A and B are shown apart, each in its own frame.
Chain A
């Protein structure tokens, strides 16, 4: 590090910081879905990455459709593609919960294996449906280019846009969880499932909605993902381990913890990436996270739910 001047270091940190923000956004969107699913019903969804890929392919299909049928829409398609991606992933999530997940409540380790099987099936379905090659969407003009506040700092616009999207989704989830009727029911079922059932909450219905919603958010993550990278059948599996670590590191059930840990992990990798290369940066970040988890297993922000 001594080879750089302070000013250069600041610029590097700023740029890598902003580069990390796109990664942070996708990671956070993924982790939010996973965290509410795990927090609510102790289900480990190993296929969460594949739900992200569903969202990404939905966005890709949508953009292909728009560019073929309604080229004048190209500038704004992403705004409609995001709800579309959410909807597709939401519906698939709903079906998966009904067919598979609901049989596995109270067996968290088994959900892990079963959803891994689901992930394999979904990956192969993507490969059969869209081909093994990665696909990418055409970005609208206003998302390309970058913003340069000083000579040395260069911030891509698409990163900023995803940031904004993530902020909106996170606030939306916070509002849903803490202000809406559904959120009240979720918090009841998380705190004490039997009691929630006893006072007339349909906990099974809440579960299904929660699972579908978590998957839907992964779909949004997929839509965001298309703006920073191309999508292949196994894109989701690249994120799944990081996402789990985010959830565990943040302290399951804590929204604030999830945000903080997604930020730490994404920024750690991004900044270290510059100095010691991508793989070693990742190794060091993950090692530190695992070490902290061994010392403090409840994560950064432990939720005060009685187990």
Chain B
């Protein structure tokens, strides 16, 4: 094995990565029609969040019930750009104020709000998708980790922040599109995002980005940072006594998870064609966690399977037996927690559990 690729966890790690790549890059596109592929692409967007959670929760022990915030930031940034492109003065000529998004006009805004203006630029939007969530996560993380807020308190506060964000998005409909969200997105730099061809292309972009994110995650875990992350999860005080600034490392892990989530959110918006508060509230945020848990919370690749499995199950059940779906989902939560505390049996060898214990 090439030493440079050592971070992929030896041969087994490489094989499981290749299996995943083959599945999402070859098998799915061959086996599925465009609609199904688009659906799968949306599940893959969710798995960005789950991969981030594996890093910060599985390895770092930081449970965030607020990943919807970052998924939402990514999704809304992308949606704002697409909405502005769709709201040219010609296309919105019938409005009282042409050139602003339709929902603003309905809410009697006569001018584009200042924080919307930079989203005319694609470069700014892409930068915002990467930087905004990280900055926000850093502020949240540093504020709490410096004061040694962790575990349950951190989870509850992040959940409260999700609630605040969703209420805010719904209440400020003039600025955010309210409960409907930002809808009717059509083109990206003149390229229509609704055609079959575009949906397939977007699917492949999502899949490749996801694989890149997983490789990046694996590499991070292989560095010293990864070791410290695990050490912090298991014996935080010892790491602190060894002279490491625990708060900064935790905040960094949280930022990484946030950025991953935001990339997922942006890809979701592109494939779904809209973004709304219902996609980022308490319930989706906690479902992201269960995706990571179902995949075995120490497996970056497992997180993708977790998201796909729950996604397909939901489609299968919600159509045939809508009443049964919540029962099933609830049972999944309980069973995963009771019987699958860390990872799928047999898969732990690759996850450096042993080294963490030393």
Q: Which residues of A contact B (CB under 8 A)?
A: 38, 42, 44, 100, 103-104, 107-110, 112-114, 116-125, 127-128, 237, 241, 244-245, 248, 277, 279-280, 282-283, 286-287, 289-290, 293-295, 297
Contact = CB atoms under 8 A, between A and B. Distances in A.
Contacts of A110: 337, 341
A103 B153 CA distance: 21
B167 A120 contact: no
B171 A280 contact: yes
9 contacts: A44-B156, A113-B289, A113-B290, A117-B331, A118-B333, A118-B334, A241-B159, A244-B160, A283-B168
A125 B323 CA distance: 9
A290 B333 contact: no
A248 B153 contact: yes
A-B interface, 9 closest residue pairs, ranked by CB to CB distance from nearest = A117-B333, A121-B330, A120-B330, A124-B326, A279-B171, A117-B330, A114-B337, A117-B334, A297-B149
B277 to A, nearest CB: 12
A109 B289 CA distance: 11
A290 B330 contact: no
Interface residues of B, number: 41
Contacts of B54: none
A116 B156 contact: no
B34 interface: no
Contacts of A112: 63, 65, 152, 155
Contacts of B323: 124, 127-128
Interface string B134-164: 0000000001100111011101110111011
A113 B148 contact: no
Given A117-B330, A120-B333, A121-B330, A294 B147 contact: yes
A274 to B, nearest CB: 16
Nearest to A237: B282
B170 interface: yes
Contact of B282 (A109, A241, A279, A282): A241
A279 to B, nearest CB: 4
Contact of B151 (A109, A114, A117, A277): A109
A120 B148 contact: no
A237 B151 CA distance: 22
Contacts of A287: 164
A51 to B, nearest CB: 15
B327 interface: yes
A297 B337 contact: no
Interface in B235-257: none
A286 B164 contact: yes
Interface in B45-64: 63
